[in-house]
Structures are given as C-alpha cells and as structure tokens.
Amino acid sequence: MMKNDRREFIRKAGMGLLAGMGAASGLLTGGGFERTTSAAWAAVPGEEGLRWGMLFDTRRCPEGCTLCIESCHHTHNVPDIASLEGKIEWMHKENGRELLGSLCASTAAVPALCNHCAEPSCARACPTGSIFRRTDGIVAIDYHRCVGCRSCMQSCPYGEVSFNWSDPRAALKNPTVEYPTRQRGVVEKCNFCSDRLVRGKKPSCVEACPEGAISFGNLNDPSSEIRRLLESSETLQRKPELGTRPSVFYII
Amino acid sequence: MIEQALKGRRNYRIWSLALLVVAAGGVYASALQSADGFVHTGMGNNAIWGLYHAQLPFLASIAAASLAILVPGTLQKHSFLASLAPLAAFLGATASAMSLFFIAADLGMQRRILTLLLNPSPGAPASWQVPLLLLFLALTLTVGWAQVGAMRKGVKPPVWIRSAVMVAIPAGIALPVISAFTLAVVPGSELWTSALLAPRLMASGVAAGAGIMLLMAVTAEQLAGFKAGEETLERLAAVGAWAGLVFLALTGLDAATAMLGNMTADTAALALLYGNSPFAVVSWFALFSGTLSTGLLLVPSLRRSFIAAASLGSLLALSVWLQSGLTLILAGQLKDASAAAGYAPAVPELLLTAGIWAGAVLLMTVLLKITASAQLEREGL
Amino acid sequence: MRKRHILFIGLLAALLMALLFSFHAGTEGEAPASQAAQAAAVDSSSCVYPKEYMHTHHMQVLEDWKNTAAHEGPDAVHETADGRKLQKNLSTCLACHGSNRYFCFSCHAYANAQPNCWNCHISPLETP
C-alpha cells in the first residue's frame, strides 16, 4: 500500500513537472524558426514595438562594388588591417553560396554584417552583459564595459564580431571625428548605425548604395517598406536553422 | 604553521627556487602582455582562444573532483579517506586559484577585471565562473587550513568544517557544469554542445584528481615522511581507475552516437579532433595514454605498488589535461580544416602559462610540506 | 524521512528549472522601444547642469552617462531641470565645448587629471 502510494505520487509529480515544462516552453520560445516566405510572415503572431531589420536585394548589388563597406568603415572608424589574423570588419562581401547555404543559387559576392538576431547567442555568452539586445532590436556593445574575453566572438555563428588584437588607432588613416574609435582589447561589430538612427538618418550603407539595393526598416510594422518587400519576395537568412532569428534578409 | 614553508632540506629549497624562477618568467611575460596586448600570443581571428582558456575546463573539473575525497573525508565518521582530506582541500583551492589566474590572463582589458563581479549577467553561464571560483577557493582553503591546524594539535577538526564542506558541495559541482555551459552557448561547435560534456568533465576530473593526489601523497611519503596509509592509496588508485573508465565510456558514447546517427556536423568536428588538424597526434596520444593508464590501474597488484600507482596516476592526469583542456578548446573552436593551422603558442604565452603552473605547484608543495610537518609533529608528541 | 527525500528532489527540480529560465537571455529593459529616430534632438543652448555644479561634478555626470548610455540605447536621453532633452553622449558636450580646443585639457593638465576618454573618443586636439 505504502509503496503504491509513493509510486503514484512520483508518477503524478513527474507528469505535472512535464506538463509544466511543456507549457512553459510553449510560452517562452517565440516561434523558434523564422520562415522567410510571405505566408510565414503573415502567420507569425505580431510582435509589439520596434525591431530594426535590413534587406539586401542582391540582384541589384553590382559585382566588385564595395561602396557600402567603405562608407560603413569610414563612418565608424573601423581600422584597415590587412592580416587575416588581425582583421576587423563591420561589413564585408562573401561568396553567396558559402554565406547563405545551398538555397542560394548564385556564388556572387553578397554583403554581410551583424545579423542583430532576435535570439543572439553572443549575448548569452557575454559574462558582463556588455553585448546585449536593445529594445529596438539592435544588438549593441558597451565598449566601456567589455572585458575582452572574446566569448561573444566565439559564440557568434556568423563570425561577425571582431577583436582588437592590436591598437586600432595605428591602422586608422582618416578618422571620422564624430564617432569614437575603439581601443586595444575590446570586441567590436556593426551597430546598425544606431548613432545615425538617433539623429534621424538612415544607416550609412543604405545611403551609400548607388543601386538602392539595401532596405532598412521596422520588421514589426506591417506597413513598412521592408515588410512589403519581405512579403512580396522569396528571401533568405543566414543559418536560420540555428534559431537565432536574424534581422538581416537577402533576396537572391 | 606557516613557518614550515620556509624551513626545509636542500632538495626542498632547490625545488622551490626552481619553481620561483619559472613563476618569475610568468610575471615577466604578464608585464609584456599588459604593455602590448595579445600581440605576443599566437591567438588571432582563427584561434580566438589559446593556451590560457584551454586550461579552464580541466581546472574546473579538478576543483570539483577534490570533493570526491574531501566530502567522505570530512563528513563521514572513520572514513579511510580522512588522512587525505586536507590534501584534497588544498588541491581544490590550488585548482580554483589557477583558474582565476588563467581567466585574468585571457582578458583583453585586464584593468576591467572587477567588471566580472560588478556587472554579472545571470543569463550567461560565463558570469557565474569567477564568483563561484572565489567562493570555492575561500571554502577549500579555510577547510584545509583548519584541518591541518587540528592535526598538528592532535585534536578533532572544528565542527564548522562540516558546514563549510556542505556549502562547497554545490559550488564545486557547479564548476565543471558552468564550464561546460560556457561552451554550450556556442551554436555550431559540435564538440562543445554535447549534453555529455558536463558529466564527462566531472568524470575526467575525478580520474585526473585521483591521479594527481596519488602523485602528491606518494611524493610526500617518500620525501617528507607523510603517511596516508597503504589501503587508502590503493582505494584512491581504484577511484581514479573507475572514473577514468567512466570518462572513456562517455567519450566513446558521444563519438558512437555521432557516427551511428551519421550526424555530419558532429562527425566533422570529430574528424577535426582526430584527423585533419594539427591536434590529431595529441588527441590520439591522449586517448591511448588514458586507456593504457586506466587499464593498468584496474590491476590490483599495480595499484598496491606506490611508485607504479603514482606514475600511472600522473599519466592519467596528463591524458585528461590534454583531452578535457587543450584539444577540447583548441580543436573545438575550429570552424573548418583551413583554420586549423592558425594556432601555435608564442613564447611569452608559454612563459605565462608555465609561470601560473609553477606558482600553483609551488603553492601545492608548500601546503603539502605544512601538512606533512603537522603530521610528523603530532607523531613526535 | 522518505517524505523529506521527495521534498528534496522536488526542490532540486524547481531550482534547476529556475536556473534554466534564468539562462533565457532576453532583451534588456522592459519598456517597449520608443521610435529611436524621433528621439531627443540635440538641444545644447545651455549646459546640462549649472556651470558651478559642472565645475565640481562633470566627472560624475560623464561617468553616469558612460555607464548607462549604451544600455538605455534609444532611450539614453538626459532631461535637464528645465525640461530640455539631451542625448547622453560625449559629442553632446563637444558640440559646444569642442569650439575651444583646450577646454578639457587646460584644466586637466593643471590638475594632473588623466581621464581615459581619449583612448577612443577623438579629442578636439586631434582634429585638424
């Protein structure tokens, strides 16, 4: 009798625990995968507020053009370091197949930058909360707090975080006065031009693109231009299977 | 008690001096690094972490493993491990102190080190590392010291030791778990995202910890007249052998699951570890020496010979250091085979690593000497 | 005795679950984002605080901005006593004080104060 009671108790407790965990997981994960077809966008329950996103129409991205990268790196004082081991990049162009996987039919170079993920793995790795997701969806770095442990760099599946292995000022020829540089020993990456957004300007890569291939806007606003493009075209994200929910999209 | 650290025979003094010299080399390299940053290391975009970080999972597991001796040695009445309890406490303290030094050495902004305590981000496993290590260091050092003090006076250790050990249990067990979790947040690194990583670290820590304790106890016995007891040492060797077996089994299970399930990302990571990376030779050596030492430690007659047990224990510890430390981090961070050639530790990096190790061995030597003298003093009474 | 064991297991499970949830890295702050683009325009017709206060406390003000600005993101706005809104940013200060290239340095040199602002921020002395 005693044994049976206990067995029953354990069974019920276990079932309760499982049920609770199931319910909790349903509440907590905001739709792990982010499908990039129009139907999926319509099906995603609307999120509140602002989530900045970017869309590259690579059909309009000319081969060999690097104006967006140059503009970005100049505006944000990104040092120009030649060695592969010490290179710092906020934006770069890579082989589309390698960047977006086999779904990408073209091997032409496409631009890449921090994806400003909705579930950033870098933020989960940072021991000091120096890399974090802001309320507007931008994944930002607090350069005043970064201790330089490189955990975020290690955990970014896209390799979009760079570390200042040496003094960046030494590799900076013509700095932009309005924006700070970084110093040796901290990480850095694209900030989605939060410094320009606050002044009501569009990101510098968007402005620099002569073809208008880059769209920028609020992903949570159904009437925004970027949402209109997302709903009317087939788009790709980088490594969507990891569940990081990138905010950067590509039309091939 | 502390005065025993300064007295000693010629060999003790030469050994301590040699360790001091190596530690001084580490201080020099550390000064070089704070002046010029990581340019004096082999680290770079292809090897984000290097020798420093590669010590952390191993040391966390050693710290936790000290509990395997410390807990029965202090909480059970008439435990055969009681004579080893202070040694285990000091091993835990040394391992956590080393971890803290290696974490500090690996920071790009060393003067912001307090940020790790002042601005923790509880959602990130890595922010639990430093507070837990500090707590565990304080607890094990106090417990060990109080035990040696009681041993010297020939009285029972104070009762509060039991509460300190109770607090140390969750803190110590959390160390390898947190260490595994700091690696698990890296999506796409298949060597790190296995759920078996934490138990594997724990088992490997007990194996290596037992190996190191065997070496320590036998050395102290031969040189300083410390007596752990024959039966105790044999059982310690058995603990090491069984933990080594569990570690090897878990490693095998991980690999077998990857291969049977044809999980391509996992098998690619294994191929980097054992095949097409510069670490393959080290990985195979570690696997072979681990299997050999575990197998031989399972033979009772070898366990009973102090010298054989101590050498096999050391080999086992070396194998675990390579598997749970070096190759786990260095091969685990590789994204593909082309990045594999990226890392070779530079001289200042080697100096600093050796310096921290020498400092730790010196600390351990001193603590061992104090323990042995306390035991001798009691017997002299 | 047995009941106590069950209780322990339950507590442990609860603890583990609480720990797991704490690992769920969410967004910093709770307030829904304000429209960043429409955030405070730079109004720097007069200083954040009275001159006398800034003489003695500018380092505290800057320290506070330094610690909070990045994390408040689009909401990193300082509201003065008379209701003006200013971006928490060193360039807000330099918008006025940058006109005198030696504004910071003449005092700091005299007081032998060596703030590390210019490790990253480009000082007025470095501009052509």
Average the pLDDT over each of A28-32, B18-22, B258-262, C18-22 and give the range with the smallest value: A28-32
In which band, very low, low, confident or very high, does the pLDDT at A39 lie, cut at 50, 70 and 90?
very low
Residue corresponding to tokens 């086999």? A102
- The predicted pLDDT at position A18 comes to 52
ipTM of the complex: 0.89
Across the strands, what pairs with A141?
Answer: A131
Position C21 pLDDT exceeds 60: no
Which chain B residues are within 8 Å of A87, Cβ to Cβ?
A: 45
In which band, very low, low, confident or very high, does the pLDDT at B7 lie, cut at 50, 70 and 90?
confident
Percent of chain A with pLDDT over 90: 73
A 120-139 near B (Cβ less than 8 A) = 121, 123-130, 132
Position C95 pLDDT exceeds 50: yes
Q: Where are the domains of chain B?
A: 2-380
* DSSP-derived 3-state class of residue A91: strand
Domain B2-380 in CATH: superfamily?
Answer: Formate dehydrogenase/DMSO reductase domain (1.20.1630.10)
Residue corresponding to tokens 């098998």? B267
Mean pLDDT of C21-42: 46
| DSSP alpha helix (H) spans, chain B | 10-36, 51-54, 56-75, 85-105, 115-118, 126-153, 160-184, 197-224, 230-260, 264-274, 280-297, 300-304, 306-321, 327-332, 347-380
Average pLDDT, chain B: 91
Q: Which of C12, C21, C23 to mutate to test the interface with B (most CBs of B within 10 A)?
A: C23
Mean pLDDT of A129-156: 96
Chains with at least 3 CB pairs less than 8 angstroms from chain C: A, B
Cα(A134)–Cα(A192) distance, integer angstroms: 11
A 177-236 near B (Cβ less than 8 A) = 184-187
Across the strands, what pairs with A140?
Answer: A132
Distance between C4 CA and the closest CA of chain B, angstroms: 18
Cα(B150)–Cα(B162) distance, integer angstroms: 14
CA–centroid distance for B92 within its chain? 8
Q: What is the pLDDT of residues B347-358, one digit of tens each?
A: 999 999 999 999
Percent of chain A with pLDDT over 70: 82
CB-based contacts of C12, cutoff 8 Å, min separation 6: none
- The predicted pLDDT at position C120 comes to 94
Decide if A242 contacts B187 (C-beta within 8 A): yes
The answer to whether the Cβ–Cβ distance between B109 and A166 falls below 8 Å is: no
Q: Which of A140-144, B335-339, B365-369, C10-14 has the highest mean pLDDT?
A: A140-144
Which chain A residues are within 8 Å of C42, Cβ to Cβ?
A: 199
Position A197 pLDDT exceeds 50: yes
Smallest CA-to-CA distance from B165 within B264, B253, B47, B82 is with: B82
In which band, very low, low, confident or very high, does the pLDDT at C44 lie, cut at 50, 70 and 90?
low
Position C34 pLDDT exceeds 50: no
- The predicted pLDDT at position B73 comes to 87
Mean pLDDT of A43-72: 88
Across the strands, what pairs with A132?
Answer: A140
| Residues, chain C | 128
Q: Which of A115, A143, A154, A182 to mutate to test the interface with B (most CBs of B within 10 A)?
A: A154
CA–centroid distance for A201 within its chain? 20
- The predicted pLDDT at position A31 comes to 36
Q: What is the pLDDT of residues B91-147, one digit of tens each?
A: 999 999 999 999 999 999 999 999 999 999 999 999 999 999 999 999 999 999 999
Q: Where are the domains of chain A?
A: 1-30, 31-251
CB-based contacts of C88, cutoff 8 Å, min separation 6: C65, C68, C69, C72, C76, C77, C78
CB-based contacts of B83, cutoff 8 Å, min separation 6: B73, B227, B228, B229, B232
Decide if B143 contacts B32 (C-beta within 8 A): no
Smallest CA-to-CA distance from B130 within B154, B112, B143, B150 is with: B112
At the top level of CATH, which class does the domain A31-251 belong to? alpha beta
Position A25 pLDDT exceeds 80: no
Q: What is the pLDDT of residues B136-181, one digit of tens each?
A: 999 999 999 999 999 888 888 899 999 999 999 999 999 999 999 9
Tell me how far CA of residue B267 lies from CA of A183, B261, B271, in angstroms.
Answer: 39, 10, 6
* DSSP-derived 3-state class of residue B273: helix
Average the pLDDT over each of A67-81, A119-133, B320-334, C7-21 and give the range with the smallest value: C7-21
Does B124 lie at the interface with C, CB-CB under 8 angstroms?
yes
Check residues C19 and C128 and name the one with the higher pLDDT: C128
Average the pLDDT over each of A41-50, A102-111, A119-128 and give the range with the smallest value: A41-50
Position C43 pLDDT exceeds 60: no
In which band, very low, low, confident or very high, does the pLDDT at C37 lie, cut at 50, 70 and 90?
very low
- The predicted pLDDT at position A43 comes to 46
The answer to whether the Cβ–Cβ distance between C24 and B123 falls below 8 Å is: yes
Which chain B residues are within 8 Å of C24, Cβ to Cβ?
A: 123
